[in-house]
Structure 1
Amino acid sequence: MILFPAIDLKDGKAVRLYKGDMESAKVYSENPVDIAKEFEDMGAEWLHMVDLNGAFKGSPQNIKAIEKIRKNTSLKIQLGGGIRDEETIKRYLDLGINRLILGSVAAKNPEYVIDLAKKYPIAVGIDAKEGYVAVSGWEEKENIKAVDLAKKFENSQIECIIATDISKDGTLQGLNLDFVLEIQNASKKDVIASGGVASENDIIKAKEKNIYGVIIGKAFYEGKIDLRKMFKETK
């Protein structure tokens, strides 16, 4: 199982939100490069990064911070937030980003994303609120169930799905593994669990269920998890 330590970028700083609310942003570092290097030193192979401003605006907003992190670490990076077209994908790939996460556009136009995945390393982000897909920085709810959206990617070439239960995100209340497994069963794809990791026990449970990956955010920043130890135990 792969652990994906997370850096969420708002105004160039590393922050965490509570249930996706931008007003709830808590700043953990003015210099996200330091956090990325710390993850690398601990044994991380991948970094999960989100341009929060980009997710709300619909276009890249934290390019400088992203570029700086890319230049100063050798981590593989998966990046989401405001990636809505092929031009943006190419721009990020040219920067050296390894995998692009498409969320809002995947919900609104899955066929377009299926076509893009034939050419580029794409992950689909499925963020759910009460079982329904939420988009545009989670401000809008689509009239499609998360499980039904996942089914659309069953025979596609997407690399994986990142499944987030918004009601859990940033709450330290534990992963919604039932939701993650529903997405996995519907899509037949590798799924990365996101939202609510509270302790090392959440990671152990996910590993027992053969989940492909888990995103670690607030639990690390609030000192709830010994990440160095967990990297060793999940390899």
Structure 2
Amino acid sequence: MILFPAIDLKDGQCVRLKLGDMARATVFNDDPAAQAKSFEDQGFAWLHLVDLNGAFEGRPVNAEAVEAILEAVKLPVQLGGGIRNLGQIESWLGKGIRRVILGTVALRDPALVREACRLFPGHIAVGIDAKGGRVAVEGWAETSDLTAVALARQFADVGVSAIIFTDIDRDGVLQGLNIDSTLELARSVPVPVIASGGLASMDDIQRLLQPDCRILEGAISGRALYDGRIDVPQALRLIREAR
């Protein structure tokens, strides 16, 4: 199980939103590269980055901050937010991003996801964000009629390296992960699934280490890390011991 610390980028700063609302952003660090280095120094194995402005505008916006992070750390980095075409994917992979996360475009243009998996094997993840069980896109501003499981099944055999499943109703409010929905999704496809949205405490870490969660690749944590609700040395120790 991998614990992915999240760095959400808005206007060049490291922030956390509540329920995906850009108007309810809390700034935790105005130096994202320094925050990334801190996570590396704490012993995390990956970084999870989201260009929040990019997700809403449909194009990379916080590229300067992302590039500064890539220069500051040696950790593998996965990035989502506003990545909508093959040129952008190729550009980010060329700059050192290990895994590109495709969200809105996975719903709008699934053929592009399949082509990206063919061109860049092992480097493409799909981000599925759900509100009330339905897929939300365009920075969570629009909700579709498609269920998260139905969308995931479209990419079951195309070579996606991971699916990042976010329960928007839990995001940033520290109510705990939606384990039931996450496991339902994970059992529906032969693709590693990463849980996101609501990780709140060491109880969530313990829950992720139970036998039924071994199917998951890991989980993303944001606000709970910044607020100190997660004892990082203990959490990483428990994860190592579980392996």
Give the structure-2-normalised TM-score: 0.95
Q: CA separation in 1, counterparts of 2:75 and 2:130?
A: 28
SS of 2:171 mapped into structure 1: coil
Is 1:133 the counterpart of 2:138? The answer is no
Partner of 1:146: 148
- In the alignment of these two chains, the number of paired residues is 235
Gaps of 5+ in 1: none
Contact 2:129–2:148 (CA under 8 A) maintained in structure 1: yes
Paired residue secondary structure (1:93):
helix
Mapped contact 2:18–2:171 kept (Cα < 8 A): yes
Task: Name the residue aligned to 1:10.
Answer: 10
- CA distance in 1 between counterparts of 2:29 and 2:69 reads 13
Give structure 1 regions of 4+ aligned residues with deviation exceeding 3 angstroms: none
Q: Deviations 1:88-143 (Å, cap 9, x if unpaired)? A: 01111121110000000001222320221122210000000011000010000112
Q: Does 1:196 align with 2:198?
A: yes
1:182 deviates by: 1.3
Counterparts of 1:113 and 1:207, CA distance in 2: 31
CA–CA separation in structure 1 for the residues paired with 2:227 and 2:28: 9
**Post-superposition CA distance 1:176-232 (Å, at most 9, x none):** 011111111122211000000010111221221112111010000111001222122
Report 1:40-55 matches (<5 A).
Answer: 40-55=40-55
Which residue is 2:157 aligned to? Answer: 155
Cα drift, residue 172 of structure 1: 0.2
SS in 1 for 2:169: coil
For 1:143, the aligned partner's letter is D
1:76-225 to 2 correspondences below 5 Å:
76-120=76-120, 121-208=123-210, 209-210=213-214, 211-225=216-230
Matches of 1:111 and 1:146 in 2, distance apart?
18
The SS at the match of 1:117 is helix
Conserved? CA contact 2:85–2:112, under 8 Å: no
Give me the identity figure in percent. 49
Q: Which runs of 5+ in 2 are unaligned?
A: none
Measured in 1, the distance between the counterparts of 2:117 and 2:237 equals 32
SS of the aligned residue for 2:115 comes to helix
CA contact (8 A) 1:51 1:61 kept: yes
Aligned to 1:60: 60
Q: Pairwise CA RMSD of aligned residues?
A: 0.9
SS at match of 1:17: strand
Distance 1:198 1:3 in 2: 13
